Amino acid sequence: MEQYVIKGGNSLVGDVEICGAKNAALGILAASLMTDESVIIENLPDVSDINVLIQAMESIGAIVEHLDRHTVKINSSLISSQTVDSIYIKKIRASYYMLGSLLGKYKRAEVALPGGCNIGSRPIDQHTKGFKALGADVKISHGRISAQAEKLVGNHIYLDVVTVGATINIMMAAVMAEGKTTIENAAKEPHVVDVANFLNSMGANIKGAGTDVIRIRGVEKLHGTTYSIIPDQIEAGTFMFAAAITKGDVMIKNIIPKHLESISAKLIEMGCEIEEFDESLRVVASKRLRQTHVKTLPYPGFPTDMQPQIVAALSLSEGLSVVTESIFENRFRYVDELTKMGASIKVEGNSAIVQGVGRITGAALSAPDLRAGAALVLAALAADGFSTVDDVVYIERGYEDFPEKLKSLGAMIEKVSTEQELTKFKLKVG
Ligand code: UD1
């Protein structure tokens, strides 16, 4: 089984380049199906969630040409089916974006129900509410969700909860609907804006993305485009916390500092220095981190996808911190793993009460999901001695070359798949 083996103790120092945003890329790839003309997408991260979605797109007839590691050319003129039932698709939550894009273009779509990270119940009622409001008939049976319509007609849709997925999905379904659609209480995440900008570059008429009211005027068809995906806010945030937890000094490059404000603000409260540049940001942590309290919130609040990483860092801080998760109900499953390392954390309802300790020690760990897996790696980098992290497939769903990037900053980490490789690494780093 593949695992990461890590010896903690080195401060991370140097520069790291951040990839394109996975969650924007998932929406953009699905949206690329909406034109018969060719689309070129640049700055695509090479992570397994993206590759699974590309395979699903190919399974219905899209032609995807890899121009280089981070650039694809997609032609969807020969799509022969609107039923996505690939064995891969259940693995990733974003499979549901093909529902919105195929419904928007072909007025029918059928997709296996989404999988993804196990971080609590993940309803799709707001997606279906939006599709129905546009005139689609939506059914769920035999593990699939189908939506079809004679025609889609714009409508006024108020989302009962702020949801990224439903906002993007409804936006895609509405771009070619007749007339005007308004999405109220829309999500404002940078990747919502990126998908809207991408659709607009294909000829859509979407206004207000990035605010809580998005207005869409339906257009007849979309055309080809070349588009570069925004940098990944969460990958960047993870490296910022990697610098903080290891008392390091890291320049995070190819980012949009504005998207990282909530993360930078917390790191400053915790005693780090942050220096901002146009497209990069430097995190310097020279002393023990301080406690803070944090609650996850929709953008521009502190992202739920950074919650495990901040808990890992706070477990080594001075004082008592309370971290409240307000987006997903089951997102503290990794806490038991941190406890194995000597962290002192108690989960009460949707809060983790973290009593900072002076040191944590290496242990055999398992990644329970994508972001928690990354957080365990961060903890291992700061722990005394060796750790192993199993189930790295979760981490590889969203982080490109994670061990290599950490290694380039001075971390002692290796991906191994045999006992011999593990022993060899231990002998090498001593
Ligand atoms: C996306 C991100 C995920 C991130 C999350 C919140 C992708 C592929 N994934 O997930 O990494 O953690 O945003 O920033 O972009 N909800 C409903 N009904 C719905 C849809 C959602 O009640 O129909 C609820 C969810 O249970 C959750 C909240 O809304 O409590 C936010 O979920 P949402 O923003 O939709 O998350 P995802 O789009 O699945």
Per-residue pLDDT tens for 262-315? 999 999 999 999 999 999 999 999 999 999 999 999 999 999 999 999 999 999
| Residues above pLDDT 90, as percent of the chain | 92
pLDDT of residue 94: 82
Q: What is the DSSP letter of 78?
A: T
Answer whether residue 115 shows pLDDT above 70.
Answer: no
- The tally of CA atoms less than 13 A away on the side-chain side of residue 241 is 31
Residue 19 appears among annotated catalytic residues: no
Mutate to test the pocket of ligand 1, among 98, 126, 161 (most ligand atoms within 8 A of CB): 161
Mutate to test the pocket of ligand 1, among 327, 371, 399 (most ligand atoms within 8 A of CB): 327
pLDDT of residue 267: 98
What is the residue extent of each domain of the chain? 3-19+231-429, 22-228
Which of ligand 1's atoms lies nearest the C-alpha of 122?
Answer: 26
The whole-angstrom separation of Cα 66 and Cα 168 is: 25
Pair 53, 64: CB distance under 8 Å: no
Q: What is the largest CA-CA distance in the chain?
A: 67
Please give all residues whose beta carbon lies within 6 A of any atom in ligand 1, as ranges: 23, 26, 93-94, 122-127, 161, 163-166, 187, 303-305, 327-328
- Alpha carbon 195 to its chain centroid, in Å, reads 14
Three-state SS at 173: helix
Pair 13, 407: CB distance under 8 Å: no
Q: How far is the CA of 124 from the centre of ligand 1 (A)?
A: 9
The whole-angstrom separation of Cα 399 and Cα 80 is: 32
Give the pLDDT band (50/70/90) at residue 63: very high
On average, the pLDDT of the chain sits at 95
Give the pLDDT band (50/70/90) at residue 143: confident
pLDDT of residue 121: 67
Mutate to test the pocket of ligand 1, among 47, 122, 326 (most ligand atoms within 8 A of CB): 122
Answer whether residue 91 shows pLDDT above 90.
Answer: no
pTM: 0.97
Enumerate residues 6+ apart whose C-beta is below 8 A from 291: 270, 314, 317, 318, 319, 320, 321, 354, 356
Domains 3-19+231-429 and 22-228 share a fold: yes
Q: How far is the CA of 115 from the centre of ligand 1 (A)?
A: 12
The mean pLDDT of 237-266, rounded to a whole number, is 98
Q: How far is the CA of 181 from the centre of ligand 1 (A)?
A: 21
CATH number of 22-228: 3.65.10.10
Q: How far is the CA of 190 from the centre of ligand 1 (A)?
A: 14
pLDDT of residue 96: 87
pLDDT of residue 21: 98
The mean pLDDT of 31-42, rounded to a whole number, is 98
Token readout for 366 is 């398992």
The whole-angstrom separation of Cα 234 and Cα 278 is: 18
Give the pLDDT band (50/70/90) at residue 92: confident
Which of ligand 1's atoms lies nearest the C-alpha of 305?
Answer: 12
Answer whether residue 155 shows pLDDT above 90.
Answer: yes
Which of ligand 1's atoms lies nearest the C-alpha of 329?
Answer: 30
Whether the bond between 300 and the residue before it is cis, its omega within 30 degrees of 0, is: yes
Answer whether residue 28 shows pLDDT above 90.
Answer: yes
Q: How far is the CA of 366 from the centre of ligand 1 (A)?
A: 24
pLDDT of residue 1: 80
pLDDT digits (tens, 9 = 90+) for 304-341: 999 999 999 999 999 999 999 999 988 999 999 999 99
pLDDT of residue 150: 96
Active-site option among 5, 56, 89, 117: 117
The whole-angstrom separation of Cα 332 and Cα 389 is: 17
- In 10-168, beta strands by DSSP E: 13-17, 39-42, 63-68, 71-75, 83-84, 108-112, 137-141, 144-148, 156-158
In the CATH hierarchy, which fold is given to the domain comprising 3-19+231-429? UDP-n-acetylglucosamine1-carboxyvinyl-transferase; Chain (3.65.10)
pLDDT digits (tens, 9 = 90+) for 400-412: 999 999 999 999 9
Which of ligand 1's atoms lies nearest the C-alpha of 234?
Answer: 11
Enumerate residues 6+ apart whose C-beta is below 8 A from 366: 337, 389, 390, 391
Enumerate residues 6+ apart whose C-beta is below 8 A from 248: 11, 12, 13, 242, 283, 284, 285, 409, 410
Give the pLDDT band (50/70/90) at residue 86: low
Answer whether residue 19 shows pLDDT above 90.
Answer: yes
